[in-house]
Chain A
Amino acid sequence: MKPASGASRMTLRPSSARSMYAQWPLYAMIVPGAILLIIYHYLPMLGFVMAFQNFKPTLGFFDSKWVGLDNFVYIMNLPNIYQVIWNTFYISIMKVVAGQVFPILVALLLNEIRINIVKRSIQTLIYLPHFLSWIILGGILIEILSPSRGIVNQIIQAFGYNPVFFLGNADIFPYVLVVSDLWKEFGFSTIVYLAALTSINPHLYEAAVVDGASRMRQIWHITLPGMTPVIVLVATLSLGNILSAGFDQVFNLYNSSVYETGDIIDTLVYRMGIEQVKYSLATAIGLFKSVIGFLLIAISYSLAYRFANYRIF
């Protein structure tokens, strides 16, 4: 967030070497950060050559055998790979959409609450699950969703319906993933949107009230447009993760009876790659995901630039 908004505020455009020279202390300040970035974020990227090798640790990058696209061919020949890719898209698109719309609504509602203490407590409460890991939440969800002992099914039964096996029914499982992910993360996104709301100039509201705008009108014409940059930013960034439908979550909740709809690329690669010591395979899929993610970010950014006149850089 910070670097992005900082960069967008920077209107100064040093175009000549002279201004660079004049501002050299500023540039010098970038150097340590840049070096760290190169060492920890760019050099490791060279590891992607593993995707085209049959990588053995002791042989290293230079002596491992080159196998061309064999790793990608192997992945594409895995049984059910297309189903798994589809699951990944399906689950993560639902997550992205729900994870955008719901927090915006909650942020708008919270913004209308006038008693500060109530607003703050709600904010904190919905924010809490964000700090729990999926290992813990997985165990909790298995218990509360259990058809025989879980509280959710006891409520369902109290209304006279049959218990639902949420984690064992392939038709329902993806939606359980989406809802539980939403429950865990919406508090966090809500805070991001609330922060965006505070930056809206209060004079706009005052002017609107003078013009006789209702609450709804104010939301529609002032609040939402004011939030648009952040909404576009979050949406653009989340598109980059569209091929990661949430390994931690799925891994802790799924089982072989819901592979059909719940198995995602990451969990499949985990079972085929990491468990079987196939480094190259895991790298190949990582590279594949990064390339797709990069393309999606690039496309969505250019769309946002063209239609919403929005720019990060």
Chain B
Amino acid sequence: MKRRNMRTLLMASACVILALTSACSGNSGEAGSPSDRTGASNETKVPNNVDPAGKYEPPITVTMARDMPDNLTFPSGDSIENNIFTRSYRDELGINLKYDWITDSTQYNEKLNIAITSGELPDIFNVSPVQLKELAEADQLADLTEVYEKYASPLAAEKFKEDGGIGLKSATFDGKLMALPYVTAAIDGATMLWVRKDWLDNLKLPEPKTIDDVVEIARAFATKDPDGNNKNDTIGLATGQKIFGGGGGLLGFFNGFHVYPNAWIPEGEGGPLVNGLIQPETKQALAKLQEMYKEGLIDSEFTTKTGVGPDVIAGKVGMFYGTMSNPLNPLLQSKEKNPKAEWQYYPIASVDDKPAKPQISYTPPTYYVVNKNAENPEALMKLMNFFIEKNFGETADYTYMYDGPHRTHQYAPVRNFGVTKNVDNWRLIKEVTASGDVSKLNPEQKGYYDDIKKFEGGDLSKWSIADIFGQEGSLSLIDKYVSNDMMLVDGFYGLPTANMVEKNGPLNDMALETFTKIILGDSLDNFDKFVANWNKLGGEAITKDVNEWAATQK
């Protein structure tokens, strides 16, 4: 407590000194004149001058926390703390970005929870839905209603409505907007099956259309030495220990059985919402997985692995369930190591003649929030406007999206892409490739287009972009999923209910443990016990909550 008071005092005196000195030098620019700014920090938090892209004079410092995406690379000399975004924030917005702490993405939540507990929160940070709810109820967050109304650029406002307003709605508490949702391409999360096409060809196998094909291919990959090195060192179907995960998990496999773990789906036509974990079909999927594990078709050590990446790169994996973005990671690294590796995606295989639907969720995975004590809550909206403008606006510049092999857009701590961005890009690039009229492309799309041309000209470093945005790229499958209505949308997209916060921990734990152990060989009957326990230990109460919530959405 004391420390924060001390800091506020220091900040206030610094403000006064700055105000005096800049007034003396006669530098009272339009955006944030000194008198305005001292007034702002004392009374109302939103300054009167409103310009969504206006620059702070003098510059302000905003503290943030950051999760580093895996395998993020930088142009030489750059780092997460000094890159195209931080420099532009400083030069164009007058915002100096300072990271209080940076962790890898798996540690972020835990680290943030500790920061929440100790009260040492940065000005701007991103939170999970549970954390949003806790923080909003604990009154730790700045009210962004006014900030959003005054500062959201028209383009940003458009992006925030692409999901039908679901994100903003879920971040609104008692009519007050407490966070900016990360509206992302939820449809891009749809799973697909990535297979080593060169291995398929080596062993003269058919494409995986049904679960039986998947089993057949896994068997051949595991036993018939597909890489021809005369060693029995290949994995049939790879997965990490997080079996409910979409990328590098088994979610796509479950979806192939028309089973949707942790998604809420109507029971029958228009019936009440039920959880996909506990449906009878789930047991069949588990039985098949158990059979495959017993036969050695699934990575025997998957329980000790956090993901499939390292094995994929090492050339041991022939097949895994992933997403459209996998060419960036780990497939590009796999190709760099072994240029002969041919990765091909397929729609997730179905157990019967009904096509399998990958499950997706429109609930924003994270929200951006502002600390209640932050001096400039509108800085978040400015950062957001900036990202959207530089990527989708009239002044868009492709280097804010990609710089060679570097995923520059991920350097930005505040991002928003909208729902259909990637597949829209793909569609337009396809159209332009046919017509040749490149003037239709915005800089980002033009960047992809050029990269694809470069790849066709022999530049292998552009392989991943070509394999995503090219005509035959992974997005063509997302386009197919969308146009044929082949995705299953989670019926629940509100914030977690009280019962979920209390019971989801033990329930998820139990599901992961039971399912993993059944795959490893435990009796299938444990699934029935699991269903009973799941209901008893809170699943029933949560189901009730979800259906009550659904009633309010009608």
A binding-site residues for B, Cβ under 8 Å: 56-59, 74, 78-79, 142, 146-148, 165, 167-168, 255-260, 271-272, 274-277, 279
Asked whether, in the complex, the Cβ of A275 is within 8 Å of the Cβ of B301, the reply is no
Residue B303 contacts which of A255, A271, A272, A277 (CB distance < 8 angstroms)? A255
B116 at the binding interface (Cβ < 8 Å): yes
Indicate whether A79 sits within 8 Å of B516 (C-beta atoms), given known contacts A142-B304, A279-B117: no
**26 interchain pairs (CB within 8 A)?**
A56-B134, A57-B117, A57-B140, A58-B138, A58-B140, A74-B502, A78-B506, A79-B510, A79-B537, A142-B304, A147-B300, A148-B300, A167-B304, A255-B304, A255-B516, A256-B509, A256-B513, A256-B516, A257-B303, A257-B516, A257-B517, A272-B509, A274-B113, A274-B114, A275-B110, A276-B130
Asked whether, in the complex, the Cβ of B138 is within 8 Å of the Cβ of A57, the reply is yes
Instruction: Write the B492-516 contact mask toward A (1 if CB under 8 angstroms, else 0).
Output: 0000000001101110011011001
Asked whether, in the complex, the Cβ of A256 is within 8 Å of the Cβ of B301, the reply is no
B48 at the binding interface (Cβ < 8 Å): no
Indicate whether A168 sits within 8 Å of B520 (C-beta atoms), given known contacts A57-B140, A79-B510, A277-B116: yes
Asked whether, in the complex, the Cβ of A168 is within 8 Å of the Cβ of B303, the reply is yes
Asked whether, in the complex, the Cβ of A165 is within 8 Å of the Cβ of B509, the reply is no
Q: How many Å lie between the Cα of A275 and that of B112 in the bound state?
A: 10
Q: How many Å lie between the Cα of A167 and that of B113 in the bound state?
A: 29
B533 at the binding interface (Cβ < 8 Å): yes
Instruction: Write the B505-544 contact mask toward A (1 if CB under 8 angstroms, else 0).
Output: 1100110110011001000000000000100010000000
Residue A271 contacts which of B117, B304, B505, B516 (CB distance < 8 angstroms)? B505
Q: In chain A, what residue has the closest Cβ to B507?
A: A79
B165 at the binding interface (Cβ < 8 Å): no
Asked whether, in the complex, the Cβ of A165 is within 8 Å of the Cβ of B301, the reply is yes
A-B pair number, CB within 8 angstroms? 77
B92 at the binding interface (Cβ < 8 Å): no
Tier of interface size on chain B: 20 to 34
Q: Apart from A256-B303, A257-B516, what 7 extra A-B contacts exist at CB < 8 Å?
A: A146-B304, A147-B301, A165-B300, A257-B520, A259-B509, A260-B517, A277-B131
Indicate whether A56 sits within 8 Å of B117 (C-beta atoms), given known contacts A79-B537, A256-B516: no
Asked whether, in the complex, the Cβ of B110 is within 8 Å of the Cβ of A57, the reply is no
List chain B residues, Cβ under 8 A from A256.
241, 303, 509, 512-513, 516-517
Q: How many Å lie between the Cα of A16 and that of B542 in the bound state?
A: 67
Q: In chain B, what residue has the closest Cβ to A59?
A: B138
Expressed in whole angstroms, the minimum distance between the Cβ of B383 and any Cβ of chain A is 25
Asked whether, in the complex, the Cβ of A277 is within 8 Å of the Cβ of B517, the reply is no
B binding-site residues for A, Cβ under 8 Å: 109-110, 113-114, 116-117, 119, 130-131, 134, 137-140, 233, 241, 300-301, 303-304, 501-502, 504-506, 509-510, 512-513, 516-517, 520, 533, 537
4 pairs of A and B residues whose beta carbons are closest in the complex: A56-B138, A255-B303, A257-B303, A256-B516
Q: How many Å lie between the Cα of A279 and that of B117 in the bound state?
A: 7
Expressed in whole angstroms, the minimum distance between the Cβ of A78 and any Cβ of chain B is 6
Expressed in whole angstroms, the minimum distance between the Cβ of A187 and any Cβ of chain B is 26
Q: How many Å lie between the Cα of A277 and that of B134 in the bound state?
A: 8
Q: How many Å lie between the Cα of A256 and that of B301 in the bound state?
A: 12
List chain B residues, Cβ under 8 A from A74.
502
Q: How many Å lie between the Cα of A258 and that of B117 in the bound state?
A: 30
Q: How many Å lie between the Cα of A142 and that of B306 in the bound state?
A: 11
Asked whether, in the complex, the Cβ of A277 is within 8 Å of the Cβ of B113, the reply is yes
Asked whether, in the complex, the Cβ of A255 is within 8 Å of the Cβ of B241, the reply is yes
Asked whether, in the complex, the Cβ of A148 is within 8 Å of the Cβ of B301, the reply is yes
Q: How many Å lie between the Cα of A57 and that of B117 in the bound state?
A: 6
Asked whether, in the complex, the Cβ of A275 is within 8 Å of the Cβ of B303, the reply is no
Indicate whether A272 sits within 8 Å of B301 (C-beta atoms), given known contacts A56-B138, A57-B119, A256-B241: no
Expressed in whole angstroms, the minimum distance between the Cβ of A83 and any Cβ of chain B is 11
Residue A276 contacts which of B119, B140, B505, B517 (CB distance < 8 angstroms)? B505
List chain A residues, Cβ under 8 A from B137.
56
List chain A residues, Cβ under 8 A from B512.
256
Asked whether, in the complex, the Cβ of B301 is within 8 Å of the Cβ of A271, the reply is no
Asked whether, in the complex, the Cβ of A277 is within 8 Å of the Cβ of B130, the reply is yes
List chain A residues, Cβ under 8 A from B113.
274-275, 277
List chain B residues, Cβ under 8 A from A277.
113, 116, 130-131, 134
Asked whether, in the complex, the Cβ of A79 is within 8 Å of the Cβ of B505, the reply is no
List chain A residues, Cβ under 8 A from B537.
79
Q: How many Å lie between the Cα of A74 and that of B499 in the bound state?
A: 13
Asked whether, in the complex, the Cβ of A57 is within 8 Å of the Cβ of B520, the reply is no
List chain A residues, Cβ under 8 A from B131.
277
Expressed in whole angstroms, the minimum distance between the Cβ of B476 and any Cβ of chain A is 36
Q: How many Å lie between the Cα of A205 and that of B287 in the bound state?
A: 69
Expressed in whole angstroms, the minimum distance between the Cβ of A64 and any Cβ of chain B is 10
Residue B301 contacts which of A59, A79, A168 (CB distance < 8 angstroms)? A168
Expressed in whole angstroms, the minimum distance between the Cβ of A218 and any Cβ of chain B is 48
